[in-house]
Amino acid sequence: MQQINRAVFDEVMVPNYAPAKMIPVKGQGSRVWDQQGKEYIDFAGGIAVNCLGHCHPALVSALTDQAEKLWHLSNVMTNEPALQLAQVLVNATFAEKVYFANSGAEANEAALKLARRVAKDNVGDEKDQIIAFKQGFHGRTFFTVTVGGQPAYSDGFGPKPAAIEHAEFNNIDSLKALISDRTCAVMVEPLQGEGGVVPADVEFMKAVRQLCDQHKALLIFDEVQTGVGRTGELYAYMGLGVTPDILTTAKALGGGFPIGAMLTTTALAKHLVPGTHGSTYGGNPLACAVALAAVNTVNTPEVLDGVKAKEQLFRDGLRQINEQYKVFDTIRGQGLLLGAVLNADYAGKARDFMMAAADEGLMALVAGANVVRFTPSLVIPDADIREGLARFERAVAKIVSA
């Protein structure tokens, strides 16, 4: 058999990604090893997915137990893990109804279609406008990528879904200028992840809620990146004191197994009658069994309070690094979704920091060209945080002295 290495990617894979040179083969907790046995500390967490690190015993046992019982049925039948997971999500949140999908984009696709359908049923075809925010990110299906606030991602694929407009994030006047009774929904991330780890101001979010109420527009929170404990709350809306009409969740929901969900109220959910929307795999027993274990493990005071304590460790460590090397303007974000914003001297160099960190045995992320992003496991041991920060400091030192 041909040896598997990074060159094979270039031979047989569609070139829409440019993955790192090393190929990880094993993970345990917050450590990962590549084909050559080199060890990494994982501050990336699969982009805010591996909420319990790699191969957490609760997830391994949920996966293997379910694998011995029943993998897949399709939605011609329901199944126990899906119903249990939906019950847990309903009990833990504002929601009364759940729709399962396989990814964040699909959860958002469902949310947007629901909003359009509710407006059509209650008012008429003219209430079709969707407002989202510049630099927002909602997935890569053509509808969700168009709702996302980076036209570069949706350009070049022909005519885009219509009636979608973008306001400035954290600027309520900009939303006021666009919103009207024609607006059917406002979609927003409570903390923009891909757009640079930018938290929403509480006052801004309250005003968004108020404008939505005034114009009978639905407020959709995309919590694909912030959800399932990432900010130190089960969902970020809980910390903001603003409740959406629809919430989407994916990424950490399955702790590494693909699953997404749309959460909403009974009054809205009733518009998606049989035949209006669906998915072959959505609510698959294997995915739901793993997600049930992930949510139950994360939604405890130990884990959620731990996120806040670990955030402090990160902030203290990054501040110390910055006192010595003066590379960041600020550290922003919440919980374990943190962004170190590079100062003018290092503008545009976030990728260099990420690559230098990898050389030192640390997996980090970027969020745009100016922000180094950290989204580790929510239960990363404090010792791994300290060791990871020590490795990051060595990477920073190399860049500064280069």
Q: Is 225 in the site for ligand PLP (CB under 6 A)?
A: yes
Reference 277, options 264, 295, 287; nearest CA is 264
- Tell me: does residue 139 bind ligand PLP (CB under 6 A): yes
Least Å distance between CB 183 and ligand PLP? 20
| 189 forms part of the interface with ligand PLP (CB under 6 A) | yes
**Rounded Cα gap, residues 27 and 19, in angstroms:** 18
Among 175, 224, 236, 338, binds ligand PLP (CB under 6 A): 224
Of 194, 245, 360, 393, the residue at the interface with ligand PLP (CB under 6 A) is: 194
Nearer to ligand PLP, 108 or 146 (CB): 108
- Count residues near ligand PLP (CB under 6 A): 14
Q: What's the one-letter identity of residue 373?
A: R
Among 109, 222, 311, 360, binds ligand PLP (CB under 6 A): 222
Q: Which stretch binds ligand PLP (CB under 6 A): 31-39, 113-121, 126-134, 218-226?
A: 218-226
**Hey, what are 260's tokens?**
């997404």
Among 116, 138, 310, 391, binds ligand PLP (CB under 6 A): 138
Q: Looking at 100-108, 210-218, 320-328, 334-342, which segment touches ligand PLP (CB under 6 A)?
A: 100-108
Among 41, 59, 197, 250, binds ligand PLP (CB under 6 A): 250
Longest dimension (CA), the chain: 64
Q: Is 109 in the site for ligand PLP (CB under 6 A)?
A: no
In the list 44, 105, 118, 362, the residue contacting ligand PLP (rule: CB under 6 A) is 105
Candidates 14, 10, 15, 36; CA nearest to 25 is 36
| Residue 104 or 282 having the CB closest to ligand PLP | 104
282 sits near ligand PLP (criterion: CB under 6 A): no
Q: Is 103 in the site for ligand PLP (CB under 6 A)?
A: yes
Give the residue numbers of the binding site for pyridoxal 5'-phosphate.
104-105, 137, 222-225, 280
- 52, 53, 75, 104, 196 from 253: Cα distances, Å: 10, 13, 20, 10, 22
**Least spacing, CB of residue 366 vs ligand PLP, in Å:** 13
Binding mask 18-57 toward ligand PLP (x if CB under 6 A, else -) reads ----------------------------------------
Nearer to ligand PLP, 9 or 153 (CB): 153
Beta-ladder partners of 260 = 101
Residue with the shortest CB distance to ligand PLP:
104
CB under 6 A: which stretch of 53-61, 137-145, 204-212, 298-306 binds ligand PLP? 137-145
Pairing relationship of beta strands 218-222 and 246-249 according to DSSP bridges:
parallel
Q: Both tokens of residue 290?
A: 């793993």
Which residues in the 148-177 window bind ligand PLP by CB under 6 A?
none
| Beta-ladder partners of 137 | none
Q: Extract the annotated binding site for N(2)-acetyl-L-ornithine.
A: 140, 279
Residues that bind ligand PLP (CB under 6 A): 103-105, 108, 137-139, 189, 193-194, 222, 224-225, 250
